[in-house]
Amino acid sequence: MKLGIIGIGNIGSMLLEILQNEEHDFYIIDKNREKIKKYEKKCRVKIGENIEDIYSNSKYIFVTVKPKDMDDVLNEISKIDNDNAVIISTAAGKSLNEILKKSNKKNVIRIMPTIISKIGKGITAITFNNSIKSDVKEEVISMLRPLGEIMEIDEKKFDAFTILNSSGPAFAAYILESYIEGAINIGFNVEDAKEIILKTFEGTIEFIKKENIELSQLKYRVSSPGGVTIKGLYELEQKSVKGAIMKSLYEAYLKNNKF
């Protein structure tokens, strides 16, 4: 299959790395020519001269540039006389209708991967415009399987999904870092603190899945009357940690809607 990638940044390079196999030929381009020199000798990867070169040689074209650069790319695509290719956009805040109008093309898909897609984990959201046929949907979903779970969602939820999934690892890292620094504060060195906290979070997630229990149930199992766990939970409630986390997601969601 012939795949194009316009923009070899974090997402574009990840897609190239994860999806590259003997079934796909890639045509790639980036405005920073130095950035893509390392791909010149890669098997089944060709560096295009311009956007038309990428679009005309590909069945599916991943547009992975930053949202601020999308309009320029779509303007170039609108000048290309080819309606058979399918645009797959990763740009946050850019709707299917906006991409359809600005590209002057009829086949558009939006996906939202995350940094942890690089290891085949997490969820990649996908949504299709009405002209995409069922066989194309199946082919694209199958093609994207190496990224992890693929979830088709209503586009109305895409902005919210972006915050939970794409921004999520940064929020998770912040929370983990807080626990690690807390462990250092009560006497552990940084290496041991990191190992303990990461293993604890990893084990907690697996335990919840295996036992199929509600999060509140786990809290109650661990908390003894008047004990240390309930004291710590009480302090988190006193400091409105849960509310602060909910507010951070909401503020990020509002910001995403401004793009």
Distance, CA of 212 to CA of 200 (rounded, Å): 18
Domain residue ranges in the chain:
2-153, 168-256
Yes or no: domain 168-256 corresponds to CATH 1.10.3730.10: yes
Q: Do domains 2-153 and 168-256 have the same CATH topology?
A: no
Q: Which of 18-22, 157-161, 166-170 is the least confident region? A: 18-22
Q: Which of the listed CATH numbers 3.40.50.720, 3.30.70.890, 3.40.50.150, 3.40.50.300 matches domain 2-153?
A: 3.40.50.720
Q: What is the mean pLDDT of residues 34-48?
A: 86
259 has a pLDDT exceeding 70: no
Q: Which of 6-15, 29-38, 87-96 is the least confident region? A: 29-38
Written in H, E and C, the secondary structure of 134-199 is HHHHHHHHHHCHHHCEEEECCHHHHHHHHHHHHCHHHHHHHHHHHHHHHHHHCCCCHHHHHHHHHH
Q: What is the mean pLDDT of residues 4-20?
A: 93
208-253, pLDDT tens digit by residue?
A: 999 999 999 999 999 999 999 999 999 999 999 999 999 999 999 9
Distance, CA of 176 to CA of 201 (rounded, Å): 8
Q: What is the pTM of this model?
A: 0.86
pLDDT score for 35: 82
Q: What is the mean pLDDT of residues 168-194?
A: 97
Confidence bin at 256 (pLDDT 50/70/90): confident
- Give bridge partners of residue 112 from the DSSP assignment: 125
Distance, CA of 124 to CA of 158 (rounded, Å): 11
